[in-house]
Structure 1
Amino acid sequence: MKTKSVMLSVALSMVCLAASNAEACTTTIVTKGASADGSAYVTHSNDSFSSDPSIVYVPAKDHPAGAMRKVYPSAIAWDDLPEYECYSNPRLVAPERAEAYAYPGKKQTKPMGEIPQVAHTYAYIDSDYAVMNEHGLMLGECTNNSLHLEYLEPKEGRGIFYASELGRVALERCRTAREAVQLMGGLIDKYGLWGTGETLLVADREEGWVLEMQPTPTGKGGFWIAQRVPDGEFFVAANQFRIRAIKPGSPDQIFNPQLPDMLKKAGWAAYDKKGNLDWVRSMKAAEDFHPYFALRRVWRALSLVAPSSKLPAKVKNWDTEAYPFSVRPDHPLTLAEIMDLHRDAYEGTPFDRRKGENAGPFALPYRYGKTKWERSITSSNIAYTWIAQVKDSLPQPIFWLAMSAPAESTYVPLAVAPLPEAYAKNDRTKYDPAKAWWISQQVTTLTKGYYSAMVPKVLETARKGEQRSMELVTSASGQSKEEFAQTLRGNADRVLTDWRELYGKLLAEHDGGHGLEYDKAFQPKADKVLKY
């Protein structure tokens, strides 16, 4: 049982997080030994109704001696910051960083501070969070709750870094995951954190690391720790810290040596049953909104890839030790299986989101309104999902991008290179039929209205297109980097054309609801809110 004081803290946290832009994300690492084709993967769903869906190529650059790098704020951390000219859409106005961040007529975003620039920065793909760079360094992200400190607002004298800018600096300067973890940890120690608790997944061809961070109450420095995902295993995070015992001297962990003393000094130190300093408990990393907002997704993802683990769907508390840090899949995971994991709504389980009166006559897995429903991996508020992939046989690193929720969309492969114009400067507040966000959103929105009747055809079209794209990636593996990038740009344009046509076909075939039948199979009982 929770004490009254803890219950009050949970209630206050719910009220605070309701204002946050970073509403929820699910992110995974598939190490190369866990994949069917020897690729390493990092996935991330960017889940926010106010997210900027623009995908930006930031080119490699040389910088003069003595140059400084601006560190910008981010509205995705919590909310708009007018004092910094920082808003959700567009996320950044900074033409010096990339052409796609130039918005004539808009005021430039004001930096929170500066750090010394390096002589050369690498090319990378950027979004609300950094995606991957030209050397195959990949990132994923999710925002985490802490009852100690839900959100530290940016102020003079506090830290200048939020996770989004940390990831960008890492992609600009690093080739390996270990190097990136060490760099970001050093930046936290020196320049400090603001914002929310965060997880950044950091991986390259050989290693995958989980970096978790939390601002200090003063904004000086920050609490952070990283743990390696063993090769051959799969990791998932879903808005809750996942690292448990802090192990000084372990080759599989990296953290500030002062971390244990910092936690004790702050009065946050908490321990597991074996007497180890426990990161999750020290952070008071309780779930957001209501039970199973985070843990159910962790259970589902781990159970999908390793059903033999027979993990319990119900646990007693947010700090349960029932779910392992990572698992070895029952079989090597294919790219198609990784894609479908992000489409999951607990189908075939007692928690199937398509069932119950709240699913409506068309078995919609999503919920709307002020009530904070239990979350599934797929969500109504997903702006985009990426699957970053590194494989030695490919001419260069690629990422598979699904605009909007992938359960009603399709994944398109793109290289770390200039992108089709359809992906830059997507404004979700103004309809533009030439932009990838709106091309995808048309199908997604229509499908959500008549879900069970339309989603089978949408997914059939999506998977056929994804299979063609996979075959194209394989057949183009002998091309040069430039040829390969151009091949993928051409393919992306064709997929967007196909998706425009699909929208038209769905409208024509079901004009006014013609031919649509609601799904009686999914109307047995109303949803019930599960409690610990």
Structure 2
Amino acid sequence: MKKLLRTLLLALCGTASFLSAEACTNFIVTRGASTDGSVMVSYAADSHWLYGALYHTPAGRYRAGAELPVYDWDSGRFLRNIPQAAETFNTIGNMNEHSLIIAETTYGGRPELADTTGGIDYGSLIYITLQRARTAREAIRTIVELADTYGYASGGESFSIADRDEAWIMELIGKGFADDGRGGNARRGIVWVARRIPDGYVSGHANQARIATFPLDDPENCLYAPDVVSFAREMGYYEGPDAEFSFCDAYAPLEFGAMRGCEARVWSFFRTVADGMERYEDYALGRSAADRLPLWVKPRTKVSPKSVFDAMRDHYEGTPLDMTADIGAGGHGCPYRWRPMTFEVDGTEYTNERATATQQTGFWFVAQARPWVEPDMGILWFGVDDAATSCLTPIYCSATEVPECFREGNGSMLEYSPTSAFWLFNRVTNFAYMRYDRIAADIRTVTDAWENTHLELVALIDEAALRLPEKKRTRLLTQYSAEQAQVLFDRWSRLDRYLLVKYMDGNVKGEHGDVHDFLRTEDPAAHFIDNGSGKPIPGKIDFPGYSEKWKRAVAADRGELLRVLH
């Protein structure tokens, strides 16, 4: 039991030294695999203590000798100062003005490889690299240089790195600590490997290292640390020939929790877009590692941006892991299991499923690098809180202003703010958890309408922006991004009120029309059916009760006491 619990913690939260790096999910779609020719990367930043905000760093020029302070992204702890670059790029979220995208998931890996003296953590690697690199290949070089120069302060990470032409998976881990005799670390730096995803394919990772064997003589498609194999031998992780070396097996050995809690999310995405994924079901269930999930697959048809949006909302629906189908979903099909990740009954330990959509998401996005427009016209489709009951709104990568509702400092995990999107979306979502089978459906209709409309609107904005010089284009794209985010906030505020009126106390009030009619009417009170007396008293209320499975479970548990006697 203790071994299983440790396995799940390592797989889902990183090593014991880095438990603040909670489980995240990335899906990657190459140009040739997308319906519009964009490169897409999705990311859910999942943590019980991460506040959902949109980070922004303006472009800058710096004098020689300027320094940049580095703070651990998870804890806020100061790590060190490093030399500032002479020029930095504008970044918005996990994208920069050149349409470079970087996202991550933590796999933790072998705990003895943690370097407590490291000067730069995984989050800082992402955001500093976005300020300094233009392309995916430049980003890989920058990450390696930063980690090797200043020491790596986090556990094992998988990075998604993409630009307008290419998409890569890069996996890295520290080398632990060995005293160099001067108080420093003789093993400072990382071992790593990066593979380019073939055009026309999709990939993903979710808190388990996924790069197994890799070509040693194909620098166009595979890059790696010169000591990635020799260091594994030195540490006793590997004894075979170089050509058969597997990064993930050496540095993040596969266990039940890694398959069931991590790889299963990638499998669920693959099965929605590609054929033949049923062969990996036992692997996803954690029953057998004999037939390992491939690093990438070719989709049956090209994948649209909306399909990627919706893939981030997955709860294993339609699979044996469907979180709406068992008694754990309660009487209203709620696809969430509150933590901890495991529980014990009569000496047997059980796991709660960990799906792509989860309650502890701070923020999430689907980023698009689009080669048919200017590099500064990439789009970060951005949202906060649980992906299944929240909504994405377009933020252009050259935006120089953060909407008030997404601004850092507008509230925190310990401070409610009425103007914060994170708190508003959490209000709506936590209410939905109470009657998920009904409330989530109303939310989804609003989400789909917003996202589909804006997927069409951005084409019109693109057309207008392309006719403008760069500075005016930046102003237009910034204004559009900020204004639409605030429009979404206002719409969600009305949705919040609508859901409370409709579903208060477990009842369902009758309506004239649907949620869209409520959101656009000037007299929301007239939306609900009254009793005809001229007073605002409900005239039709439904009492939907509970699911059949739940009723049968209650009857089995307390039937003798609850049975109606005649």
TM band (smaller chain): 0.7 to 0.9
Instruction: Please list every run of 5 or more consecutive structure 2 residues that lacks an aligned counterpart in the other structure.
Output: 178-186, 343-351, 466-472, 509-542, 554-566
CA RMSD of aligned residues (A): 2.6
* Structure 1 length-normalised TM: 0.85
Q: How many angstroms does 1:404 deviate by?
A: 0.6
Partner SS state of residue 282, structure 2: coil
In 1, the alpha carbon distance for the partners of 2:3 and 2:233 equals: 20
1:209 and 2:168 matched: yes
**Amino acid aligned to 1:267:** G
Q: How many angstroms does 1:379 deviate by?
A: 1.1
In 2, the alpha carbon distance for the partners of 1:247 and 1:257 equals: 13
In 2, the alpha carbon distance for the partners of 1:159 and 1:19 equals: 13
- Residue by residue, what CA displacement relative to the aligned partner does 1:485-505 show, whole Å, maximum 9, x if unpaired? 212221111111110100100
- Residue by residue, what CA displacement relative to the aligned partner does 1:91-127 show, whole Å, maximum 9, x if unpaired? xxxxxxxxxxxxxxxxxx63x223332211001024x
1:64-103 correspondence to structure 2 within 5 Å: 64-74=63-73, 76=74, 80=75, 86=76
1:399 and 2:407 matched: no
For residue 314 of structure 1, what is the aligned residue in structure 2? 282
Q: 1:239 to 1:493 in 2, by over 3 A?
A: same
Which one of the candidate residues 480, 483, 507 is aligned to 1:490? 483
Q: How many angstroms does 1:247 deviate by?
A: 2.8
Which one of the candidate residues 151, 164, 171 is aligned to 1:192? 151
For residue 100 of structure 1, what is the aligned residue in structure 2? none
In 1, the alpha carbon distance for the partners of 2:136 and 2:489 equals: 33
For residue 402 of structure 2, what is the aligned residue in structure 1? 419
Q: 1:294 to 1:120 in 2, by over 3 A?
A: same
Q: How many angstroms does 1:291 deviate by?
A: 5.1
In 2, the alpha carbon distance for the partners of 1:18 and 1:269 equals: 24
Which one of the candidate residues 102, 108, 111 is aligned to 1:149? 111
In 2, the alpha carbon distance for the partners of 1:63 and 1:288 equals: 49
- Residue by residue, what CA displacement relative to the aligned partner does 1:196-234 show, whole Å, maximum 9, x if unpaired? 111111000101111111111216212211111111111
For residue 386 of structure 1, what is the aligned residue in structure 2? 365
1:511 and 2:504 matched: yes
Greater helix share, 1 or 2? 2
For residue 95 of structure 1, what is the aligned residue in structure 2? none
Q: How many angstroms does 1:319 deviate by?
A: 5.4
In 1, the alpha carbon distance for the partners of 2:218 and 2:430 equals: 48
Q: How many angstroms does 1:310 deviate by?
A: 3.8
Q: 1:17 to 1:408 in 2, by over 3 A?
A: farther
In 2, the alpha carbon distance for the partners of 1:6 and 1:421 equals: 46
Q: 1:39 to 1:13 in 2, by over 3 A?
A: closer
Partner SS state of residue 267, structure 2: helix
- Residue by residue, what CA displacement relative to the aligned partner does 1:442-482 show, whole Å, maximum 9, x if unpaired? 11111111100111111011100111211211111122232
1:259 and 2:249 matched: no
**Amino acid aligned to 2:402:** L
Question: Aligned pair count?
Answer: 482
**Amino acid aligned to 1:423:** F
For residue 91 of structure 2, what is the aligned residue in structure 1? 124
Q: How many angstroms does 1:249 deviate by?
A: 1.7
Which one of the candidate residues 216, 235, 245 is aligned to 1:248? 216
* Structure 2 length-normalised TM: 0.80
For residue 520 of structure 1, what is the aligned residue in structure 2? 547
Q: How many angstroms does 1:150 deviate by?
A: 6.8
1:58-457 correspondence to structure 2 within 5 Å: 58-74=57-73, 76=74, 80=75, 86=76, 110=78, 112-126=79-93, 131-146=94-109, 148-149=110-111, 152=114, 154=116, 158-218=117-177, 220-251=188-219, 252-269=221-238, 276-287=244-255, 289=257, 292-315=260-283, 320-372=290-342, 373-394=352-373, 396-416=377-397, 417=399, 418-424=401-407, 425=409, 426-457=411-442
In 1, the alpha carbon distance for the partners of 2:35 and 2:456 equals: 15
Q: 1:345 to 1:8 in 2, by over 3 A?
A: closer
Partner SS state of residue 355, structure 1: coil
For residue 523 of structure 2, what is the aligned residue in structure 1? none
Q: 1:371 to 1:207 in 2, by over 3 A?
A: closer
**Amino acid aligned to 1:336:** K
1:474-485 correspondence to structure 2 within 5 Å: 474-478=459-463, 479=465, 480-485=473-478
Partner SS state of residue 244, structure 1: coil
**Amino acid aligned to 1:238:** A
For residue 41 of structure 1, what is the aligned residue in structure 2? 40
Instruction: Please list every run of 5 or more consecutive structure 1 residues that lacks an aligned counterpart in the other structure.
Output: 81-85, 87-108, 527-532
**Amino acid aligned to 2:171:** E
Aligned partners of 2:43 and 2:365 also within 8 Å: yes
Aligned partners of 1:27 and 1:201 also within 8 Å: yes
In 1, the alpha carbon distance for the partners of 2:365 and 2:319 equals: 26
Larger CA deviation: 24-33 vs 299-308: 299-308
**Amino acid aligned to 1:64:** R
**Amino acid aligned to 1:152:** A
1:467 and 2:452 matched: yes
